Amino acid sequence: MKKLKCCEITFPSINLLISPVKKVSFKLNKLLLTILVLFYSSFGIANQLRFVAEDLPPFHYYDENNKPVGALVEVIEELMTSVEIPFKIELMPFARSYGLTINNENVIMFSLMKSPDRQEFFRWIGQSYKSKAYLVGLNSRTDIKINKLDQAKSFVVGTIRGYHSEKYLKNAGFTDNKNLHLSVNYKHMWNMLFEQHIDFILTNFVAIEREMESIGFHKNEIKPIIELHDFPGDLFLATSLSTNELNVTAISNALKQIKDNGTYAKIMKKWDLE
């Protein structure tokens, strides 16, 4: 029988498996070489995954020790225990996290709203939270009575710069520095409402309580004015189109698993986000 010809190939070291960096030579027949190439393409994907989001309690925020905590932080930590890829979680302004994600591989936003204008620019890994959007205002503002979004154009609506809500409001006819005010973070946004520099905020009403308490306000001081039924409220894990599909699939499967086995529900219950 004719012997299979052996070949020699040098691979760069696989950082996840070999340290320090070395060159390793393998003498393999053609079948084993094919398997190794597939193995290398799977594990030579990324040294580390970066999960990024803005400061938004109770989903993700820094505690007194400057450590990321929150419901979705726990979700990420839980699902990554089964994926076994090195990762880190970073919180930063929304615009920066969005730019990092769309322009780099292996960066994952873990609470990005899946709006129609974003759909084609990301790989959507899985839903991290389901929510509804409202226009909210102060209970004390008895002078304001509206029941549809168009009527809010006579007032000033606030949201976070770079959020889909900014585009949503502009598409609805709101204008920056006229009846639309854009804040860099939720603390500034709520302060603007309570100081009555703005009249409404477009936000997720479910997460408001902890968000407000963290800056000294209380949920009882505000009320939902209008539910925006056409606003896409669901949050997703999303990454750039350049991120390796094997990573995307592994994280997507892990997310499905913690939802199926009840772990996700327990985390949401712990944070009063059922």
| Secondary structure class of 9 (helix, strand, coil) | strand
In the chain, how many domains are there? Answer: 3
Same domain, 107 and 74: yes
Q: Please list, in sequence order, all residues whose beta carbon lies within 8 angstroms of the beta carbon of residue 48, skipping any fewer than 6 positions away.
A: 85, 86, 87, 88, 106
Question: Would you say residue 4 lies in a domain?
Answer: no
Q: Do 116 and 177 belong together in one domain?
A: no
Q: In this structure, are 213 and 161 located in the same domain?
A: yes
Report the pLDDT value the prediction gives residue 58, as an integer from 0 to 100: 87
What pTM value is reported for the model? 0.65
Do 149 and 197 belong together in one domain? yes
Count of beta carbons in the 10 Å neighbourhood of residue 47 = 11
User: How many Å apart are CA 121 and CA 21, to the nearest integer?
Assistant: 34
Is 89 inside a domain boundary?
Answer: yes
Within-domain flag for 152: yes
User: Residue 209 maps to which CATH number?
Assistant: 3.40.190.10
Q: Do residues 68 and 147 both lie within one domain?
A: no
Residues 249, 252, 254, 260, CA torsion sign: negative
1 falls within a domain: no
Enumerate residues 6+ apart whose C-beta is below 8 A from 205: 132, 133, 134, 136, 224
H/E segment holding residue 31: helix 30-43
Mean pLDDT per segment of 10 residues, for the chain of length 274 residues?
A: 40 39 43 40 62 92 94 96 92 94 97 90 95 91 93 96 91 95 91 96 75 81 92 91 95 97 96 82
Look at residue 201 and tell me if it is in a domain. yes
71 plus 108 within the same structural domain? yes
Q: Give the separation between CA 134 and CA 64, rounded to whole angstroms.
A: 30
CA angle, corner 150, sides to 57 and 144, nearest 5?
Answer: 70
Which pLDDT score, from 0 to 100, does residue 179 have?
97
Domain residues for the domain of 62 are 49-130+235-270
